[in-house]
C-alpha cells in the first residue's frame, strides 16, 4: 500500500509524524517540539497554553451537532527515548530521525524511531488540523519527560481541563483496549569511589557486552532478554576468582526504562594474566550463547586492548562493592499477577551504570500494579545500599492506574469495535507506566482508556511501527469520536 516514504507521508498522520521526526525531542530536550506545537495551534486559531514544564494544551471547539457532548481529553507525550547503535553517527540534539519504509513497517535508521509516543502527537495534530472529522470539544494535552520522570504530567494543573473523559494514545497494541497500568519509581544507588595508584607493568582492556536486543523495561521484561549490566557483574565476579585484576570504570545502559543492551568495563591486568583473561571471555561467550540462545542469540562479549589512563584504579574495597552491587541489585520479574494471566505484577530493571569522578551510580526502574509491592522493592534496594555503605535516592514516582469496572468510555470503544469487526475487543492491562494514573489522581471522576497501533522493540534502535495498524487504529479512533454524539453522560 505504501512502499515508499514519499507516498506514506501523504497520509495526514504520517505527514505529521514525519514533521515531528525532524525536531529534537529526547526527554529533557523538548523546547523545540513544544514550541512547534504552540505555533501549530496558533496558526489554526485554536486556544493554546504552554506551561512551565513545556506541556502544551490545545483546545478545539465541538463540531456542529456535538455541542452538548461532554468534552474529551486527548493525551500523549512529546518526548522519546533516544537510543542508537554503537558507532552510529547521530546527534539527537539536532539531527532529524531518518525514516525508512520496509515492507509494511516504518523504521528509523540505526536509532529509535520515536513512535513511542510520537504517533500520539501525529494523531492529535491530524485531528486538530482536520475540518471534516466530527468530534466533541477537544482538550489535547501533549506532555513532556514521560520517558524519564513523568514530570510533565505531574506538573499539569487540573484547573486547565473541563473534560472528565480521557483517551490516552500511548498504548502499543492494536485491537486491544488498555484499561490499567503499573506505577513506578526510579532508585539510584550511589557508591563512593576510593581511588588507588595503579600498579606498574599492567595493560588496559575493555570488556564489552554486545548484541543484546534490549527493549522497554516494562513491556519487554517478561521476554527473558539479557541485561548487559547484570551480565557484566557476573563476568567481573567470575574473573575475581581466577586472577588479580584492577577495575577502572563501568558504564552501561542509557535509560532506566530500557533494558540495557551494552555495557563496558575497563580493567587493568598484568601481562601474564592476559591469556587467562582471553580464555575466560571465550568461556563466557559459550555460557551466554547457551543461556540466551532463544531470547538473545546475537549476544557476545568482546575484549579489546585499549589505550587508557594507567595512573588510577578503584581500590580493592570499591571494586568488590561494585561487583557485589551488580550481583545483588534486584533485576527482572519480581512477581506475577494472580488476577490476570500472563501479566507481570512487579519488576525492576537495573538500567544504567555510570562511573563519575568520585562515585558510581546504579540506576534502577521499579514498577508494580500494587503500591505496597513497589514500596517493598524500594525497601530492599535501601537495605542493599546500607549494607554496602552506599546512599539511595528515589525520584520520578508515579501512581498505578487501577481498573475501572464501570467505565463508560470503555463501553463506547467496545461497541464501535464490535460493529467494525464483528468480534469483541481484547481488554488488557500493561506492566508499564502510563500517564493515565497521574491524570486520574489530578482530576476526580476521570474516566480513562488507552489505545494505540502495533509497535515493536520500542526503546531500541530496532523500534518499528506497523503502517496498516497505525491507519486502522486511526480510523477506529475517529469512529469512536463520531459515536460519542450518543454518549450517555
Q: Which residues share a beta bridge with 354?
A: 361
Residue 428 near residue 177, CB atoms below 8 Å: yes
Integer Cα distance of 32 and 451 in angstroms: 26
Q: How far is CA 71 from CA 30, 58, 111, 150, 487, in A?
A: 27, 13, 37, 24, 11
Residue 322 near residue 254, CB atoms below 8 Å: no
Residue 458 near residue 216, CB atoms below 8 Å: yes
Report which DSSP code applies to 89.
-
Q: Could you report how far apart the first and last alpha carbons of the chain are, in Å?
A: 40
Integer Cα distance of 345 and 336 in angstroms: 5
DSSP-based three-state secondary structure for 5: helix
Integer Cα distance of 245 and 227 in angstroms: 23
79 is catalytic: yes
Catalytic residue among 30, 116, 145, 146: 146
Q: How far is CA 414 from CA 69, 411, 433, in A?
A: 19, 5, 23
488 is catalytic: no
Q: What is the SS3 string spanning 20-54?
A: HCCCCCECCCCHHHHHHHHHHHHHCCCEEEECCCC
113: its cell numbers: 524511531
DSSP-based three-state secondary structure for 463: coil
Which residues are catalytically annotated?
Answer: 79, 146
Amino acid at each position: 500500500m505504501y512502499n515508499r516514504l514519499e507516498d506514506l507521508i501523504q497520509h495526514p498522520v504520517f505527514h505529521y509524524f514525519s514533521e515531528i521526526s525532524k525536531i529534537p525531542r529526547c526527554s529533557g530536550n523538548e523546547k523545540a517540539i513544544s514550541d512547534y506545537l504552540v505555533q501549530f495551534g496558533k496558526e489554526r486559531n485554536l486556544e493554546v497554553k504552554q506551561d512551565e514544564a513545556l506541556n502544551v494544551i490545545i483546545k478545539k471547539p465541538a463540531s456542529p451537532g456535538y455541542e452538548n457532548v461532554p468534552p474529551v481529553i486527548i493525551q500523549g507525550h512529546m518526548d522519546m527515548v533516544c537510543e542508537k547503535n554503537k558507532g552510529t553517527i547521530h546527534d539527537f540534539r539536532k539531527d532529524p530521525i531518518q525514516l525508512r519504509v520496509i515492507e509494511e513497517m516504518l523504521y528509523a535508521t540505526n536509532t529509535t524511531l520515536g513512535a513511542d509516543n510520537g504517533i500520539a502527537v501525529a494523531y492529535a495534530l491530524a485531528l486538530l488540523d482536520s475540518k471534516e472529522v466530527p468530534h466533541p470539544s477537544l482538550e489535547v494535552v501533549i506532555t513532556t519527560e514521560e520517558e524519564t520522570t513523568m514530570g510533565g504530567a505531574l506538573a499539569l494543573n487540573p484547573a486547565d481541563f473541563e473534560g472528565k473523559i480521557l483517551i490516552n494514545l500511548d498504548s502499543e497494541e492494536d485491537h486491544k483496549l488498555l484499561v490499567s497500568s503499573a506505577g513506578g519509581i526510579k532508585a539510584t544507588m550511589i557508591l563512593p569511589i576510593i581511588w588507588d595508584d595503579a600498579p606498574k607493568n599492567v595493560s588496559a582492556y575493555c570488556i564489552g557486552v554486545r548484541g543484546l536486543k534490549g527493549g522497554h523495561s516494562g513491556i519487554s521484561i517478561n521476554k527473558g532478554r539479557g541485561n548487559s549490566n547484570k551480565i557484566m557483574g557476573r563476568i567481573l565476579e567470575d574473573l575475581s576468582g581466577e586472577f588479580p585484576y584492577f577495575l577502572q570504570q563501568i558504564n552501561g545502559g542509557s535509560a532506566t526504562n530500557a533494558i540495557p543492551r551494552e555495557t563496558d568495563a575497563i580493567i587493568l591486568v598484568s601481562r601474564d594474566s592476559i591469556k587467562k583473561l582471553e580464555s575466560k571471555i571465550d568461556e563466557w561467550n559459550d555460557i551466554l550463547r547457551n543461556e540466551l540462545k532463544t531470547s538473545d542469540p546475537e549476544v557476545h562479549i568482546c575484549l579489546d586492548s585499549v589505550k587508557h589512563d594507567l595512573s588510577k584504579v578503584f581500590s580493592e574495597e570499591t571494586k568488590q562493592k561494585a561487583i557485589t552491587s551488580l550481583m545483588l541489585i534486584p533485576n527482572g520479574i519480581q512477581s506475577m499477577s494472580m488476577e490476570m494471566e500472563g501479566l507481570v505484577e512487579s519488576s525492576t530493571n537495573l538500567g544504567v551504570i555510570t562511573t563519575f569522578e568520585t562515585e558510581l551510580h546504579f540506576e534502577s526502574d521499579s514498577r508494580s500494579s500494587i503500591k505496597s509491592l513497589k514500596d517493598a522493592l524500594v525497601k530492599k534496594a535501601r537495605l542493599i545500599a546500607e549494607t554496602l555503605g552506599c546512599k539511595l535516592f528515589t525520584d520520578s514516582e508515579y501512581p498505578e492506574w487501577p481498573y475501572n469496572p464501570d467505565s463508560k468510555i470503555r463501553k463506547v470503544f467496545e461497541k464501535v469495535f464490535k460493529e467494525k469487526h464483528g468480534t469483541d475487543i481484547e481488554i488488557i492491562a500493561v506492566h508499564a507506566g502510563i500517564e493515565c494514573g497521574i491524570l486520574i489522581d489530578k482530576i476526580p471522576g476521570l474516566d480513562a482508556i488507552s489505545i494505540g497501533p502495533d509497535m515493536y522493540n520500542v526503546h531500541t534502535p530496532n523500534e518499528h511501527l506497523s503502517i496498516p495498524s497505525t491507519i486502522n487504529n486511526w480510523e477506529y479512533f475517529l469512529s469512536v469520536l463520531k459515536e460519542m454524539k450518543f454518549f450517555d453522560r
